[in-house]
A and B are shown apart, each in its own frame.
Chain A
Amino acid sequence: MKRLGSPIELEKELKEVMGEKGVDELLGKAKEYKKEIEIRGKIGRDLIEEISKLKKEPKWMLNLRLRALELFEKLPMPNWVEGIESIDVEEFYQYVRPEAQPGEEWNQLPDWFKEYYTKLGLPEAEAYALSGITTVFDSENLVTKVKEELKSKKVIFTSMDEAVQRYPEIVKQYFSRVFPIGDYKLAALHYALWSGGAFVYIPRNTSVINPVEAYFIIGSELEGQFEHTLIVAEDNAKGETSYLHFIEGCAAPVLKRFSFHNGMVEIYAGRNSQIYFTTLQNWGKSIINFNNKRAIANENAHVEWVEGSIGSKVTYTYPATILKGRGSTTRNISVGISNGPYIKDVGAKAIHVAPDTKSIIISKSISSGGGLATYRGLVKILKGAKGSFSHVSCDSLILDEKSRAYTLPRNEVDEPTATVSHEASVDKLSEDQLFYMSSRGIKEGEAKALIVNGFIREVLKKLPLETVSILTKVINLEFSELGGVG
């Protein structure tokens, strides 16, 4: 398998695929495709039982869904963030199964799917960069490819639905363990309606060299997507370690009306494991994107979240790590770009439970064209997490007068031996910089992309190579003449 050499190399490979357009422009208008099943209606017991029956799920999963439904009905809409209450979750199709036979080979799927798959550059990524890939289209996984590296190392990589059937004992043990069903109303909704997603199980002392990827595509308007990703790394013995890099990508074609994404990621990082989770969110501008991401880090484990939040009409995402084991660490890097009249409400949470835990949160947000970029974060150090340390750094860049930047951090320290610090700044785009670049023949869009790339350079240096080039490219596209359209 070819290991990615440098960002330039990857950029070259992706160039052909990405062309010179924004991702939703690249995918074009939504294609007509046949749907085998569509479910929309009042979110109640009948609807949940119907979804579970279609999936031929075991009774325990149906019971879990019904418990989630009960909690969804009881819980109030969250009141710690404004705007969510206006989402009408019954307006969307809660389950959509496209007419296509899932399999391992993408080129055996219908033409409309192959076209999306190739335009997103997934065949190249699958061939050269990844050790496994799964693609969720609407509510179901259509392609799941597991390469030799995973098989030989006995790493389980499969769709979440298949995991429920084939590995019920492991799934029962970890599903909803990290992100409780009753955490809040939209989490309960997710558990009631979840469909599709990825499951990874990493045995002890196993490092996966090449990343695995899950790609999520919403094909139609007025659709809800509720995929669930669960990553479990076994506890390692003393002196052992394990490693996985998981990349998550999202896209949608140009839609006339809105669709709703309410996905979830749970990571259970066992002792001495290292889990890197990268999200490149580039939904089209018609998607309301709600993300629920949480990890538990056990003794000396490390969890790293990288969130490139570029697309969507509105995004709410706050990846969280619960530092449960002594010496566990987390780093959370987010880049949020709100280009156009859109909202990016992104951030991070670090909950320090055990002594000697450490969290670093770095956020870079950019707002342009009337956009609002918000950092919303929480660092909580519980009593007993002695000697813990946390540092939060948030920088915002506003590219024009009508755009906005909010920074809303919360630092709650219940342990007096802990140290927490936070710093933030807001800068504007300097007219001198733009003038200088335009005098050198650089177009405004290109100049903005250059400035944005410069602004986040410090963050890029900290990222895996696989991520850097894709993120850079996506930013360039976002500020190119066609980017942000749609």
Chain B
Amino acid sequence: MSSLDALKEEGASLYRKLKWQEISDSPMVKSYTDWSMYEKYLGLGGDVRYEKPEGNYDFLVGDCGNVEPSYDYNGYIKVNEGKLAAYHFYELERLYKLKVSSGRHKIAFCVPKSKKWVSNHLILELEKGSKASIVVHEQRRSPGSTAIEVLLDEGADLELSIILEPDESFPSAYIIRKVIYNEGSANSFTFSTSSYMNRIEERNLLFKGSRLRHRSLVYSYRNLKVDNIMDTIQIGEGSEAYVAGLGMAFDSSLSSIRGTAVISEEARKSVSDLGIEALLIGDGARAYTMPMMKIDTGDVTAANHRASQQRLSRNLLFYLGSRGLTEEESTSLVLYEKSISILNHLSETKSFSEDKVKGVLKKIYLEGISRNYGPGGI
């Protein structure tokens, strides 16, 4: 366990030395996260104001909230894992920990308003054998990073929805870790809108006999960018991971959806399934998918991955058109249904997530963010 002060100090000395990333994502693109967007906010001073988010929550995390800060760190993010982690800890003023028992919990972060980098950090610890459902909602009006770490003790069962709404005009980074100890089980969902540059770096660690079913959904619009990474590392025998990500790129935006499924040498008789889909909706939209797999044992029960990038099916839109729907109505209907169907593995947090997804889609359409809806030429 490290103290927050020690981490801040280490972060301060490391962030100037460390690189954003050591290995390029691609020989041609180099990095899917445009790190230069973050670079200009490093070391920038200024005041930070925190506001209460709208809505009712059991726990409010931050200066406006009802959770006591903690000064000891027992999470899984290493301060030296890269420039982002180092700078995150360097700028971190308060660390919050919540021990969660069985039941339903709604958690939100206080909304930071600032032009300087703001770091948020929350660790959720789920008790052994408990069964809980948790919603975590983060909105920000500042550049910066938010770390959310979820530690499921042995046999714990969790349903988790994380809703992220960064400020479009600043770069944002999310470092999400889920650690599922022996025989634990999680159904999780992450939803994010995009920003100037939005990086969502999720890493799931699975111990023996644990199980994860995760879905992520990201929207990008205007000329904004989102890079959603879903890594799953299985280190326990008989673990199972079913992970899927969907990205929708409107206008001239970029959605990058990727993940690496690792089955380590010790994780014999494990299952990994990774599916990634990107829909190109705008005429200038771009989408990158990287479903990667690293299988370090020959004793694997099943390991599959797949990816696709395409426009909406012309046949489907034609069919809906023949039933009297306008092109805009058909497209919005298909996008809505596709988005909502990704929540099917949720139960108690489903309606909250559904409302948020619906709200953002409505905003996209009402504000006319996307001018070109269906396949070109229709």
Measuring CB to CB, which residues of chain A are less than 8 angstroms from any residue of chain B?
Answer: 78-80, 82, 184, 367, 378, 380, 383, 386, 396, 398-414, 416-426, 428-429
How distant is the Cα of A413 from the Cα of B288 in the complex, in angstroms?
6
Known: A413-B287, A416-B311. A407 touches B298 (CB 8 A): no
How distant is the Cα of A445 from the Cα of B193 in the complex, in angstroms?
54
Chain B residue nearest to A392 (CB atoms) is: B307
CB–CB B26/A413 < 8 A: no
4 tightest A-B CB contacts, nearest first = A416-B280, A398-B298, A426-B303, A401-B298
11 A-B pairs besides A406-B295, A409-B290, A419-B311 with CB distance below 8 A are A80-B25, A378-B27, A401-B268, A404-B295, A404-B296, A405-B293, A409-B292, A412-B26, A417-B311, A422-B307, A424-B306
Chain A residue nearest to B297 (CB atoms) is: A401
CB–CB B298/A429 < 8 A: yes
Number of interface residues of B (CB under 8 A): 44
Known: A410-B290, A424-B293. A416 touches B285 (CB 8 A): yes
How distant is the Cα of A407 from the Cα of B261 in the complex, in angstroms?
10
CB–CB B295/A82 < 8 A: no
Residues of the A chain whose Cβ atoms lie less than 8 Å from the Cβ of B296 = 404
CB–CB A409/B283 < 8 A: no
How distant is the Cα of A425 from the Cα of B24 in the complex, in angstroms?
25
CB–CB B27/A423 < 8 A: no
How distant is the Cα of A387 from the Cα of B16 in the complex, in angstroms?
45
Known: A79-B24, A422-B291. A409 touches B307 (CB 8 A): yes
Tell whether B155 is near chain A: CB-to-CB under 8 Å: no
Tell whether B299 is near chain A: CB-to-CB under 8 Å: yes
Contact check: which of A398, A400, A409, A414 meets B286 at CB < 8 Å? A414
Tell whether B195 is near chain A: CB-to-CB under 8 Å: no
CB–CB A420/B310 < 8 A: yes
CB–CB B26/A399 < 8 A: no
How distant is the Cα of A345 from the Cα of B282 in the complex, in angstroms?
36
How distant is the Cα of A209 from the Cα of B181 in the complex, in angstroms?
63
Residues of the B chain whose Cβ atoms lie less than 8 Å from the Cβ of A82 = 23
Known: A409-B291, A411-B307. A416 touches B283 (CB 8 A): yes
Can you list 12 A-B contacts (CB < 8 A)?
A79-B22, A378-B27, A406-B292, A406-B294, A412-B288, A413-B309, A418-B280, A419-B310, A420-B308, A422-B308, A424-B293, A426-B295
Residues of the A chain whose Cβ atoms lie less than 8 Å from the Cβ of B249 = 416
Residues of the A chain whose Cβ atoms lie less than 8 Å from the Cβ of B53 = none
Contact check: which of A407, A412, A417, A419 meets B305 at CB < 8 Å? A407
Q: Mark B334-378 against chain A: 1 for CB-CB distance below 8 A, else 0.
A: 000000000000000000000000000000000000000001100
Chain B residue nearest to A391 (CB atoms) is: B308
Residues of the B chain whose Cβ atoms lie less than 8 Å from the Cβ of A398 = 295, 297-298, 300
CB–CB B293/A403 < 8 A: no
Tell whether B29 is near chain A: CB-to-CB under 8 Å: yes
B307 to chain A, nearest CB (A): 4
Residues of the B chain whose Cβ atoms lie less than 8 Å from the Cβ of A422 = 289, 291, 305-308
Known: A80-B26, A398-B298. A408 touches B292 (CB 8 A): yes
How distant is the Cα of A82 from the Cα of B23 in the complex, in angstroms?
8
A360 to chain B, nearest CB (A): 15
Tell whether B278 is near chain A: CB-to-CB under 8 Å: yes
CB–CB A425/B291 < 8 A: no
List residues of B (16-32) whose CB comes within 8 Å of A's CBs.
22-29
How distant is the Cα of A125 from the Cα of B376 in the complex, in angstroms?
53
B95 to chain A, nearest CB (A): 33
Interface centre among B27, B282, B284, B296 (most CB of A within 10 A): B27
List residues of B (266-285) whose CB comes within 8 Å of A's CBs.
268, 278, 280-285
Tell whether B304 is near chain A: CB-to-CB under 8 Å: yes
How distant is the Cα of A408 from the Cα of B28 in the complex, in angstroms?
15
CB–CB A378/B26 < 8 A: yes
CB–CB B306/A423 < 8 A: yes
CB–CB B304/A424 < 8 A: yes
How distant is the Cα of A121 from the Cα of B251 in the complex, in angstroms?
59
Chain A residue nearest to B287 (CB atoms) is: A413
Residues of the A chain whose Cβ atoms lie less than 8 Å from the Cβ of B294 = 404, 406
CB–CB B307/A421 < 8 A: yes
Interface centre among A367, A378, A386, A429 (most CB of B within 10 A): A378
Residues of the A chain whose Cβ atoms lie less than 8 Å from the Cβ of B375 = 417
CB–CB A407/B292 < 8 A: yes
How distant is the Cα of A414 from the Cα of B26 in the complex, in angstroms?
15
CB–CB A413/B24 < 8 A: no
B179 to chain A, nearest CB (A): 24
Interface centre among A405, A416, A424 (most CB of B within 10 A): A416
How distant is the Cα of A184 from the Cα of B24 in the complex, in angstroms?
14
Interface centre among B249, B283, B291 (most CB of A within 10 A): B291
Chain B residue nearest to A416 (CB atoms) is: B280
Interface centre among B282, B291, B309 (most CB of A within 10 A): B309
